[in-house]
Amino acid sequence: MTMRQVLGSFEARFRLRIREEMSSNVVYAIVKAGGRQEKVSVGDVVVVDKLAEEIGSSIELQPLMLVDGDAITVDAAKLGKVSVKAEVVDSAKGPKISIIKYKNKSGYRKRQGHRQKMSVVKITEIA
């Protein structure tokens, strides 16, 4: 089997999978949350960087892309009409990160740790 045949069969399977995903009535959005982009749909629970809102409050996330069955929306003017609403469920801390600095022959050692503060958000509506 040549490389062209392998790549051709891979491409055919990939296109079929994309076509199946697009033909179903799947609604999801790519939103900007805490400096990152997250793929969300209604009912998803997402962990993002710490938000200023309190637990139980409702927030609106900025959509960057919307997929609604066969329709894909990336136009900024159309996305201005789309709203992704979520509820802050909990706050938590991320995993501990250890930072260790060491210099040879001088006895210099420095140890530092960090835990990022996070918010747990549940997506309630994509409209």
Residue 110 has pLDDT above 90, yes or no: yes
Residue 78 has a CB neighbour count (10 Å cut-off) of 12
**pTM strictly above 0.75:** no
Q: What is the pLDDT of residues 9-42, one digit of tens each?
A: 666 666 666 666 655 678 899 999 878 999 999 9
Q: What is the pLDDT of residues 34-48, one digit of tens each?
A: 789 999 999 999 999
Q: What is the pLDDT of residues 47-102, one digit of tens each?
A: 999 999 999 999 999 999 998 887 889 999 999 999 999 999 999 999 999 999 99
Residues 92 and 118: their CA atoms lie apart, in Å, by: 5
Please tell me the predicted confidence (pLDDT) of residue 107. Answer: 95
Residues 62 and 79: their CA atoms lie apart, in Å, by: 9
